[in-house]
Amino acid sequence: MLDRKTFEVITDSSADLSYDMCKELGVCEIPLSVYIDGKVFKDYPDEKEISRKNFYDILRKGIIGHTSSPNVSEFYNEFERILKNRKDVLYIAFSSGLSATCANAKIAAGQLKDLYPENKILICDSLSASLGQGLLVYVAVKKKELGYSIEEVFNFVEKEKFNICHFFTVDNLHHLQKGGRISKLAAVAGSILSIKPILHVDEKGKLVKLYNVRGRKNAIEELFDNLKERITSVKNQTIFISHGDCEKDAIFLKNIIKENLRPERVYINTIGPVIGMHSGPDTLALFFVGNNR
């Protein structure tokens, strides 16, 4: 009989977890892809096809590409690898509000259902992105380590995902404009006036602009203010920060948080090419568990 407590938590590379964090958690990331100058690069956490530094150097030269989700066969193969080892699968997916990734995974799971009737493939649409998705993976693994079953962890993350708060700012509005998030006029005007938007991901998993502030320092302080207003159980929390090749700003934000709130842990990682293609260099993002999104 299959041990129902034997399962793997997996995710995709939109979670922006580093190679070391993936090893720490025992999770794999199914890679999405980026297309740049006619070349395809898979977004692996070990950066074996494209490094984060090289990617942001390319963006700063004004070169723009596009991204794509794993196809159904890639999910099929990864899920089957786990099922063949007599384990169940809990996949925490990139927001369906931003990508077709979750939909492709569900098709693959449906194809495998009759072939592996004793096994389970449970798919959680995280309605999250970057380290918001990564944070949901993190808390899922912590529940698993406590001995919770796959069903119990799945039910937990299905509720907890609505408490994963995403707040971020971008330095260059033109990447949002090219992705259709704001108008060209707003991008030009914002750049001239040094306008920095504060954005978040809403309960439908979509990117939403909350308001504007003027200047980078004020934008970083606004991220912290949103954290203070919404965070719950700060002493026991691991807070995640991701950045678009602006580590100094990420460390500055981390130090403000540690000095004022003293959480259990603050984890920083670079935004990967898939998310970074749309957010651009110098994006700074903050993720934590709050009272609601």
Supply the pLDDT for residue 194.
72
| The two three-digit tokens of residue 99, written as one number | 């990508």
Least confident of 2-11, 37-46, 259-268: 2-11
| Cβ(101)–Cβ(93) below 8 Å | yes
**pLDDT at site 171:** 82
Count of residues for the chain?
A: 293
**What is residue 177's predicted lDDT score, i.e. its pLDDT?**
58
Least confident of 82-96, 181-195, 240-254: 181-195
Of the listed ranges 76-90, 166-180, 217-231, the one predicted with least confidence: 166-180
The Cα–Cα gap between 253 and 67 comes to 29
pLDDT digits (tens, 9 = 90+) for 198-209: 999 999 999 888
Of the given ranges (192-196, 216-220, 240-244), which has the lowest mean pLDDT? 192-196
Q: What's the pLDDT at 84?
A: 95
Regarding beta strands 88-93 and 7-12, do their DSSP bridges make them parallel or antiparallel, or are they unpaired? parallel
Q: How many Cβ atoms sit within 10 Å of the Cβ of residue 220?
A: 20
Question: What whole-number distance in Å separates Cα of residue 230 and Cα of residue 250?
Answer: 20
Asked if residue 280 has pLDDT above 60, the reply is yes
Nearest 5°: CA angle at 200, between 195 and 205? 145
The two structure tokens encoding residue 149: 């079953």
Tell the CATH topology of 163-289. Answer: Hypothetical Protein Tm841; Chain: A;domain 3 (3.30.1180)
d(CA 199, CA 209): 4
pLDDT in tens, 113-144: 999 999 999 999 999 999 999 999 999 999 99
Look up the CATH architecture of domain 7-162.
3-Layer(aba) Sandwich (3.40)
pLDDT beyond 70 at 169: yes
Sheet with 238-243, side-by-side order of all strands: 207-214, 195-201, 164-169, 284-289, 238-243, 265-270
Query: Taking phi first (over 0 means left), then psi (-120 to 50 degrees means alpha), and beta for anything else, what does residue 130 get?
Result: left
**Which tokens go with 267?**
């984890």
Indicate if the alpha-carbon torsion angle 154, 155, 157, 162 is positive or negative.
positive
- Residue 30: CB atoms within 10 A of its CB come to 26
How far apart (Å, rounded) are the C-alpha atoms in residues 75 and 108?
A: 6
- Tens digits of per-residue pLDDT, 15-32? 999 999 999 999 999 999
pLDDT value of position 4: 45
Average pLDDT over residues 59-88: 95
Note the pLDDT of residue 209.
Answer: 86
Residue carrying structure tokens 């944070």: 135
Computed over every residue of the chain, the mean pLDDT equals 92
Per-residue pLDDT, 189: 46
Whether the per-residue pLDDT at 191 is higher than 70: the answer is no
C-beta neighbour count of 118 within 10 angstroms: 9
Look at residue 179 in the predicted model and tell me its pLDDT: 52
Would you state the pLDDT for residue 282?
A: 95
What does the domain layout of the chain look like in residue ranges? 7-162, 163-289
Task: Tell me the one-letter amino acid at 106.
Answer: K
pTM of this structure: 0.93
